[in-house]
């Protein structure tokens, strides 16, 4: 089962320090809502968990193992591709703009990675794709191209794609921000079901009502640090910091 640990994590782009010392751990099965103003570092934090970004200093661990790096002779070295693959297959990610591959059908989008990784053969992958598509209520769209689907449908396909490798952690980067208001509900429904199945989830979002209802814990980020961390009702209803009060008043 999965745990995520971050200790002393800092990350800079040149002179700009985006994360300024993050300390936290997320036990397996927990649903975390990650909120904060844009530029507060929440999307960056999310990308550290699956190693799309590596910290400038500090350590990120998943299941007690360093992400994207290994310690050897007292130094940190980058992982090989095979090691990164083994690590990433247990972490699924969903993006704000879906990022389906537009030149592939829905089924091809789902089956590409598992087949390339030789996790499954073609018929196994196809069967699993059909199971996942029916789970997100899109069984009839397997042969469609992403451009033929609504935003909400595309995002549900993206969630199914992320689930193909049977991850134990799911990362969501503002999954409903690019959707028309009437399409937000269908995506949140799928996410709610995932949460009920015991998936570890870290969700960067502006949907505070979803966070209140589904999350076990809320982390409020401000200017590269964790400013508040606690149960949804505590953080959302009784924020301690002025910044969180101001942010929640606006939201």
Give residues in contact with another protein (CB under 8 A).
50, 52, 81, 84-85, 88-89, 91-93, 95, 97-103, 112-113, 116-117, 144-151, 154, 161-162, 165, 178
Q: How far is the CB of 89 from another protein (least distance, A)?
A: 6
What one-character DSSP code corresponds to residue 73? Answer: T
Q: How far is the CB of 141 from another protein (least distance, A)?
A: 12
Q: How far is the CB of 52 from another protein (least distance, A)?
A: 6
- Nearer of residues 97 and 192 to another protein, judged by Cβ: 97
Q: How far is the CB of 74 from another protein (least distance, A)?
A: 27
Q: How far is the CB of 9 from another protein (least distance, A)?
A: 19
SS3 of 81-124: the string is HHHHHHHHCCEEEECCCCCCCCCCCHHHHHHHHHHHCCCCCHHH
Q: Count CB atoms within 10 A of the CB of residue 128.
A: 20
- Nearer of residues 88 and 217 to another protein, judged by Cβ: 88
Say how far residue 109 (Cα) sits from the centre of its chain: 18
Residue-level length of the chain: 251
Phi-psi region of 40 (alpha: psi -120 to 50; beta: other; left: phi over 0): alpha
- Nearer of residues 103 and 240 to another protein, judged by Cβ: 103
Element (H, E) at 204: strand 200-204
Tell me which residue of 171, 231, 229 sits closest to 202, measured CA to CA.
171
- Nearer of residues 134 and 150 to another protein, judged by Cβ: 150
- Nearer of residues 28 and 144 to another protein, judged by Cβ: 144
Q: How far is the CB of 243 from another protein (least distance, A)?
A: 29
- Nearer of residues 106 and 236 to another protein, judged by Cβ: 106
Kindly write down the DSSP assignment for every residue of 144-176, as one continuous string: S-GGGS-HHHHHHHHHHHHHTT--SEEEEESTT
């Amino acid at each position: 089962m999965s745990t995520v640990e971050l200790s002393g994590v800092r990350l800079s782009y040149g002179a700009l320090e985006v994360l300024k010392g993050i300390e936290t751990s997320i036990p397996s099965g927990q649903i975390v809502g990650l909120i904060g103003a844009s530029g507060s570092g929440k999307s960056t934090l999310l990308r550290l968990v699956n190693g799309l970004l590596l910290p400038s200093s500090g350590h990120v661990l998943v299941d007690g193992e360093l992400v994207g790096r290994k310690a050897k002779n007292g130094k940190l070295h980058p992982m090989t591709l095979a090691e990164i693959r083994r690590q990433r297959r247990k972490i699924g990610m969903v993006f704000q703009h879906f990022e389906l591959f537009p030149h592939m059908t829905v089924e091809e989008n789902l089956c590409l990675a598992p087949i390339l990784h030789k996790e499954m053969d073609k018929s196994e992958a196809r069967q699993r794709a059909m199971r996942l598509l029916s789970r997100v209520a899109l069984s009839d769209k397997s042969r469609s191209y992403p451009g033929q689907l609504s935003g909400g449908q595309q995002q549900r396909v993206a969630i199914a794609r992320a689930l193909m490798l049977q991850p134990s952690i799911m990362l969501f980067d503002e999954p409903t921000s690019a959707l028309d208001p009437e399409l937000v509900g269908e995506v949140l429904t799928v996410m709610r079901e995932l949460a009920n199945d015991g998936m570890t989830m870290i969700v960067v979002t502006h949907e505070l009502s979803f966070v209140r209802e589904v999350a076990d814990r809320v982390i409020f980020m401000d200017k590269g640090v964790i400013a508040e961390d606690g149960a949804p009702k505590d953080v959302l209803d009784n924020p301690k910091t002025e910044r969180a009060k101001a942010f929640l008043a606006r939201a």
